């Protein structure tokens, strides 16, 4: 027997799909209410604003991506191989969503400048990926490797590859980015 989603969860689930596939600015409160099949009163009991819904969406997305990535690379050797595995995960994941791109990148380019809580949530997600990369590199890096600089470069390669794969609607940017990362990690 399926467990019935709470009103709050239905709102976040509906908003997640709308924000990811239609865009933040293109998704109004009424569209979320309609898709979630809740009343306006119920929606406002759980969320004070569209911005608050977006933060809940991003937090849920962060948890999902963190879990999915860890599950995907569980068999990779700790260290550099897990970092390379991020690219394999991205190739797999973005191919499954028709190269729609990163929900965090998409929303940050689509929000009004005063919505700081969304910016903070996006930054938290990206920082956690950066920390994960640094942590993995520390496991098997040589003393000569500048882990901070290499992890910075890998983050730029990842973010650029995600965006270009969305623009091109293909995996070649991710495949090229993986090759770039392999060269960065050679000592």
pLDDT at 37: 95
What is the residue range of 151's domain?
Answer: 54-185
Inside any domain, residue 9:
no
The model's confidence at residue 187, banded by pLDDT at 50, 70 and 90, is: low
Average pLDDT over the chain, rounded to whole? 95
pLDDT at 132 over 90: yes
On the question of pLDDT at 4 being above 90, the answer is no
Q: What is the CATH number of the domain that holds 120?
A: 1.10.357.10
What sign does the CA torsion over 148, 152, 158, 161 have? negative
* pLDDT single digits (tens) 138-186: 999 888 899 999 999 999 999 999 999 999 999 999 999 999 999 999 8
pLDDT at position 102 over 80: yes
> Does residue 96 belong to any structural domain of this protein?
yes
> Would you say residue 25 lies in a domain?
no
| Domain tally, the chain | 1
pTM for this predicted structure: 0.92
Asked if pLDDT for residue 1 goes beyond 60, the answer is: no
* Mean pLDDT value of segment 116-142: 96
Residue 62: inside a domain, yes or no?
yes
Would you give the DSSP letter of residue 159? H
| Mean pLDDT, residues 38-46 | 94
Residue 23 inside a domain? The answer is no
For 2, left (φ over 0), alpha (ψ -120 to 50), or beta?
A: beta
In the 8-state DSSP scheme, what is residue 48? S
In a domain, 60, yes or no: yes
In a domain, residue 138? The reply is yes
- Asked, for residue 14, whether it belongs to a domain, the answer is no
147 phi/psi in degrees, rounded to 5: -60, -40
Torsion sign across C-alpha atoms 114, 28, 162, 61: positive
In contact, 58 and 122? CB cutoff 8 Å: yes
């Amino acid at each position: 027997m399926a467990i019935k989603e709470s009103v709050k969860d239905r709102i976040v689930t509906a908003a997640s799909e709308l924000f990811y596939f239609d865009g933040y600015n293109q998704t109004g409160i009424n569209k979320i209410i309609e898709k979630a099949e809740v009343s306006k009163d119920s929606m406002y009991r759980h969320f004070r604003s569209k911005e608050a819904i977006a933060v809940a969406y991003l937090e849920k997305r962060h948890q999902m991506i963190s879990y999915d990535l860890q599950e995907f690379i569980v068999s990779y050797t700790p260290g550099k191989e897990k970092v390379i595995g991020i690219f394999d995960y991205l190739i797999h994941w973005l191919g499954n969503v028709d190269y729609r791109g990163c929900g965090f990148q998409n929303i940050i380019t689509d929000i009004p400048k005063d919505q700081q809580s969304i910016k903070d949530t996006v930054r938290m997600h990206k920082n956690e990926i950066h920390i994960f990369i640094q942590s993995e590199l520390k496991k098997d890096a040589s003393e000569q490797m500048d882990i901070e600089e290499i992890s910075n470069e890998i983050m730029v390669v990842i973010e650029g590859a995600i965006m270009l794969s969305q623009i091109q609607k293909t995996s070649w940017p991710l495949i090229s980015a993986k090759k770039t990362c392999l060269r960065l990690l050679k000592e």
